[in-house]
Structure 1
Amino acid sequence: MTESRRILVIDDDEGIREVAHASLELVGGHDVTTAGSGAEGLEVSSRNPPDVILLDVMMPGLDGPATFARLRQNTATRDVPVLLLTAKAQETDRRRFADLGVDGVLTKPFDPLSLPEQVAELLGWDP
């Protein structure tokens, strides 16, 4: 079995948060925390930096790229891997996200049964 990791899911869509939480905890065996906005995610991750952050791109207020920039400015979260959650999977979008310096991109909608495996694969975690 894979090692349990602490994962923070930041997404303004409650349904996405619930599905990702259930998938990563029940299927992946990870310890999952969620946040409903970029600002809440910054606060939660600063207090207790997770092993990885799954970050929605399109959110009201502080969107994913702006939240990512602030995560990189904070010494507590600077080195935490960030995977973007996005419905925008066009090649130009993927290049733009890669240019930001994120560790990977997950496309929504995602398969809840394979999400933990996708996260592990993107981050090079042992299966």
Structure 2
Amino acid sequence: MGAQAARKRILVVEDEDNIAIALDYLMTREGYDQTRIATGAGAVELIRETQPDLVLLDVMLPEVSGYEICQNVRMDPGLNGVKILMMTARGSAMERRKGLAMGADGFISKPFELKVLRAEVRRILAGEPALDTLPPGAARHA
């Protein structure tokens, strides 16, 4: 892997240990520095303290929902550079629209394929728009 000026920092907000362990393994293997918090409470404060490049944010969390966390991050001008990828087991189109409306940069349904997650993380960190948020008529070439 080529030398990076700075390793990207990822914060995982996920209460299920098995999913968090899989994400830790994948993100570390991809060359990212990652930290985890298991509850919604304290997540926004941790985001403020650590200023991660990307937050992998579960929607269903104990205490505070992922939607609330996303909204709080988006309302804080000091956190403009923080990207958010929301994850949920209830991956309906309505949930996705709600997440993107709250300011998420991406939305992925669980269980997810690792290659899909990896592609989404890379897309968001590169600052590319989600496929379904491209303006009408804009072609995305594979």
TM-score, with length taken from structure 1: 0.84
The number of residues matched between the two structures is 125
Residue 7 of structure 1: SS of its match in structure 2?
A: strand
2:20 aligns with 17
Show CA shifts across 1:44-81 (max 9, x none). 21111000101000112101011112222334324311
Identity of aligned residues (%): 30
Which of 5, 9, 12 is the aligned partner of 1:6?
9
Q: Which is greater in Rg?
A: 2
Q: Distance in 2 between matches of 1:36 and 1:48?
A: 16
Q: Which amino acid in the other structure matches residue 103 of structure 1?
A: D
8 Å contact 1:6–1:32 — kept in the other structure?
Answer: yes
CA RMSD between the two structures: 2.1
Gaps of 5+ in 1: none
Q: Distance in 1 between matches of 2:22 and 2:114?
A: 7
Judge which range, 97-106 or 2-11, deviates more: 2-11
Residue 42 of structure 2: SS of its match in structure 1?
A: helix
Q: Distance in 1 between matches of 2:78 and 2:36?
A: 18
Deviation at 1:125, TM superposition (A): 5.7
Q: Distance in 2 between matches of 1:10 and 1:41?
A: 7
Q: Which amino acid in the other structure matches residue 25 of structure 1?
A: T
How do residues 1-127 of structure 1 correspond to structure 2 at under 5 angstroms?
1=1, 3=4, 4-26=7-29, 28-112=30-114, 114-124=116-126
Show CA shifts across 1:68-126 (max 9, x none). 12222334324311110111221122122222121010221123355333211244369
8 Å contact 1:72–1:79 — kept in the other structure?
Answer: no
Q: Distance in 2 between matches of 1:30 and 1:49?
A: 14
Q: Distance in 2 between matches of 1:67 and 1:125?
A: 21
Judge which range, 48-57 or 103-112, deviates more: 103-112
